[in-house]
Amino acid sequence: MAELTYRDAVARGIAQEMARDPDVVFLGEDVAKAGGVFKATVGLYEQFGPLRVRDTPISEQAILGAAMGAAMTGLKPIAEIMFSDFFAVCFDYIANEFPKSRYMSNGQTKCPLVVRTGNGAGSRFGAQHSQSVENWCMMIPGLKVVAPSSPRDVIGLLAAAVRDPDPVIFFEHKSLYPIKGEVPDGEIVDTLGTAKILRPGKDASILALALMVPRALEAAERLQAEFGIDAEVVDVRSLVPLDTQTILDSVRRTHRLFTVEENPRLCGWGAEIVSIVADEAFYDLDGPPVRITTPHIPLPANDFLEDMVLPTVDRIVETVQRSLRS
Amino acid sequence: MKPRAEKGLPLNDDIGEAKRLDLYRSQVRLREAEQRAYDLFLQNLVKGTSHLSLGQEAIAAGFAEAMEKGDLSFCTYRGHAHTLARGVSVEKVLGELMQRDNGLMRGKGGSMHLTSEEHGVMGCYAIIGAHLPIACGAAWRAQYKGDKDVSVAFFGDGTTNIGAFHEALNFAAIWKLPVVFVCENNLYMEYTPIADVTAVPQPAADRASAYGLERILIDGNDADVVYRTAKKAFAKARAGEGPSLIECLTYRHSGHSRADPAKYRPEGELEKWKEHDPVKLYRERLKQFGVTDGAIEKIEAEVRREVDEATEACKAAPLPPAEILTTDVYADGGWAWRN
């Protein structure tokens, strides 16, 4: 067992898979010699060499297209798109090519690849380098979508993503890169499509993803200490496949549902979960499901303003306790 | 003009009689199948859209005949000809155009997405430019694994003005990838003349120097020229000497898609190009090399029989069953996104 940062867990996860399988290759902008702009891929170039860890030009379409062509013909590429906001310049591959080729070809075409990307706010980068765009990907049939919140999950879910035969979009949260966590020694392989109950509770289910997970956990402790509310915190981890059984079971026990989402409100991932719960566990609910989200605005750069729009521990505590008391 | 061979003697130029007959058969096959697709459209039996390559057969035939087994084709929505040229049956292609259960993808892909990996047809891509980077990726795999296959991306003149074209060219050049980019310049992007919307006279060839590549501009209606050019580019790619960009001048006889009567063309242009029709040209070429009318007509009759039989098989084929609706969304064969 060692303490590792989320940032170092990325490099360890990639290294674990590259050491295991020579068909795993890695490409992206500044990922090789420079070790990544977030320093999340330091050491891979030195360990695996220039044929397997490759710097690319600033050509997001070429990066994702090349990853797809390599995946179709036998490699297992990991591609990095530096900021998830840049998905917008290569969205053809994410929306039209990766997820539809198997279906359109009646099962002939395979696409086993992983796109890693830096997602989310907190770095004061403004509206085009801070977005949470996991919901852009969740809505596309054929993709799998993962967003880990801890160093251990980074390694385990990355390994699961690399070994998965489908295209997986892997959202790393930029503000989580410096956080530390306990990570077991040896190989770690997790399972896609599994949510994790991080804090059991009986009064409310709080569902969170990525950076919102530590905030939900802190809020749960305060709810207990200040209001005597025993909240359950579920790390959703995987938006597609979605572990609805864990979510529905939790709601059936606590009878209340809260989602904490960094994505802007409209069509955020929590909306789908609320819809599923309304369909399948309506009579288990003791009150309306509540979504705690970023408002439907572009993200501001200023730190004071940015802090106002993201769900905070205070906002989670306030929303949950007010809702449970009303 | 090539010399007429001595009667009764085998032809012995760089291409050879056997390959010439294959090149002719392929072009006639593409012509007849595409013409049939148009006829079936007029009978309302071809559904959705379709983009014909009538008049552009020499490019698909010339490149496919120059390819080795294992070489990979990446095509656009105008991909019927390239798919057929790699050896996919007319029935499979017409069946897909008619969206029947006997189609190449059982009607799930449609005319713009023909795919037959067993023939090296790695897909037809309907988003302009998308497949050029994908071909680069397949070529990267070959380079990384030491495989000797070449990836070939076919595209129209309109593709040269989209970003993915330029990203792919640069990417292939810096990594010296075994990929060949083939621009079929048929003078019109869709309805607009390519010259009206492009900064240089030759949309692909005049861009080659920007990526350190040789300027290659050829007569795309002469299958021999196409074949020789393809062979040279493939040899270069296999030798590890990197990509080629080839602009083939050609002309499509029909409109952009089935919805387009092509009324924007100046009077006489189509007629002028029909004088340089690839099938007609190649038929004359065979005769110059001493191939008999009988041998030529035998090929034509065999092709027509394949197309006729395919047509009847497709008309008789059932529609795809509802149960394939949700298959092959994910690699497990199904579509489950939740537990």
Residue A25: list chain B partners with CB under 8 A: 144
A-B Cβ pairs (cutoff 8 Å, strict):
165
B5, part of any domain: no
Contact A142 B324 (CB under 8 A): no
What is the structure's pLDDT at B339? 96
The values of phi and psi at residue B310, to 5°, are -60, -40
Looking up tokens 């179709």 gives A72
CATH number of the domain that residue B244 is part of = 3.40.50.970
The values of phi and psi at residue B178, to 5°, are -80, 70
In angstroms, the CA A158 to CA A162 distance is 6
What is the structure's pLDDT at A56? 98
Q: Quick one: what percent of chain B has pLDDT higher than 70? A: 96
pLDDT tens-digit series, residues B181-194 = 999 999 999 999 99
B291, part of any domain: yes
B328, part of any domain: no
Has residue B5 got a pLDDT over 60? no
What is the structure's pLDDT at A326? 79
Judge if the upstream peptide bond of residue B243 is cis by omega within 30 degrees of 0.
Answer: no
pLDDT tens-digit series, residues B279-323 = 999 999 999 999 999 999 999 999 999 999 999 999 999 999 999
Side-chain-facing half-sphere of A207: CA atoms under 13 Å: 32
The domains of chain A, with CATH numbers, are 2-183 (3.40.50.970), 196-325 (3.40.50.920)
Kindly indicate the confidence band of residue B12, based on its pLDDT and cuts at 50, 70 and 90: low
Decide if B196 contacts B262 (C-beta within 8 A).
no
Contact A72 B122 (CB under 8 A): yes
What is the structure's pLDDT at B10? 47
What is the structure's pLDDT at A33? 96
* Residue A145: both structure tokens together: 């979508």
B141, part of any domain: yes
In angstroms, the CA B150 to CA A168 distance is 28
* Residue B247: both structure tokens together: 């602009």
Mean residue pLDDT across chain B: 95
pLDDT tens-digit series, residues B46-99 = 988 889 999 999 999 999 999 999 999 999 999 999 999 999 999 999 999 999
B327, part of any domain: no
**Is A60 designated active site?**
yes
- Buried b / exposed e over B44-63, threshold 16 CB at 10 Å, is ebbeebbbbbbbbbbbbbbb
Closest among B185, B195, B181, B69 to B131, alpha carbons compared: B181
- Strand, helix or coil for residue A66: helix
Lowest mean pLDDT, pick from A229-243, B37-51, B251-265:
B251-265
Burial of residue B266 (CB within 10 Å: 0-12, 13-18, 19+) is exposed
Residue B136: list chain A partners with CB under 8 A: 62, 65-66, 69
β-pairing verdict for A196-199 and A231-235: antiparallel
- Strand, helix or coil for residue B244: strand
B338, part of any domain: no
Please name the residue ranges forming H helices in chain B: 17-42, 57-66, 80-85, 90-97, 131-145, 163-174, 223-238, 269-274, 278-288, 293-316
Residues 30-89, chain A, touching B (beta carbon < 8 A): 51-52, 54, 56-57, 59, 61-75, 77
Kindly indicate the confidence band of residue B3, based on its pLDDT and cuts at 50, 70 and 90: very low
Residue A112: list chain B partners with CB under 8 A: 331
Decide if B151 contacts B72 (C-beta within 8 A).
yes
B332, part of any domain: no
User: Among residues A17, A60, A97, A272, which one is catalytic?
Assistant: A60
Instruction: Outline where DSSP puts E strands in chain A.
Output: 2-5, 24-28, 53-55, 76-83, 114-119, 144-146, 168-173, 180-183, 196-199, 204-208, 231-235, 238-240, 257-264, 290-294
Residues in a beta bridge with B105: none
A279 touches chain B (CB under 8 A): no
Could you say which DSSP state residue B222 is in? -
* DSSP per-residue letters across B301-317: HHHHHHHHHHHHHHHHS
A295 touches chain B (CB under 8 A): no
Residue B105: list chain A partners with CB under 8 A: 104-106, 108
Per-residue pLDDT of chain A (326 residues; tens, 9 = 90+): 899 999 999 999 999 999 999 999 999 999 999 999 999 999 999 999 999 999 999 999 999 999 999 999 999 999 999 999 999 999 999 999 999 999 999 999 999 999 999 999 999 999 999 999 999 999 999 999 999 999 999 999 999 999 999 999 999 999 999 999 999 999 999 999 999 999 999 999 999 999 999 999 999 999 999 999 999 999 999 999 999 999 999 999 999 999 999 999 999 999 999 999 999 999 999 999 999 999 999 999 999 999 999 999 999 999 999 999 97
Question: How many domains, chain B?
Answer: 1
**Is A129 designated active site?**
yes
* DSSP per-residue letters across A211-275: THHHHHHHHHHHIIIII---EEEEE--EEETB-HHHHHHHHHHH--EEEEEEEESTT-HHHHHHH
Please tell me which of the candidates B74, B167, B336 has its beta carbon nearest to residue A62.
B167
What is the structure's pLDDT at B13? 82
Has residue B117 got a pLDDT over 80? yes
What domain range includes position B178? Answer: 17-256+270-315
Q: Which helix (DSSP H) or strand (DSSP E) does residue B216 occupy? A: strand B216-219
What is the structure's pLDDT at B2? 43
* Residue A265: both structure tokens together: 């409100």
Q: What residue of A is the nearest CA neighbor of B169?
A: A62
pLDDT tens-digit series, residues B119-171 = 999 999 999 999 999 999 999 999 999 999 999 999 999 999 999 999 999 99
- Strand, helix or coil for residue A7: helix
Residue B127: list chain A partners with CB under 8 A: 92, 96-97
In angstroms, the CA A53 to CA B128 distance is 29
B251, part of any domain: yes
What is the structure's pLDDT at B161? 98
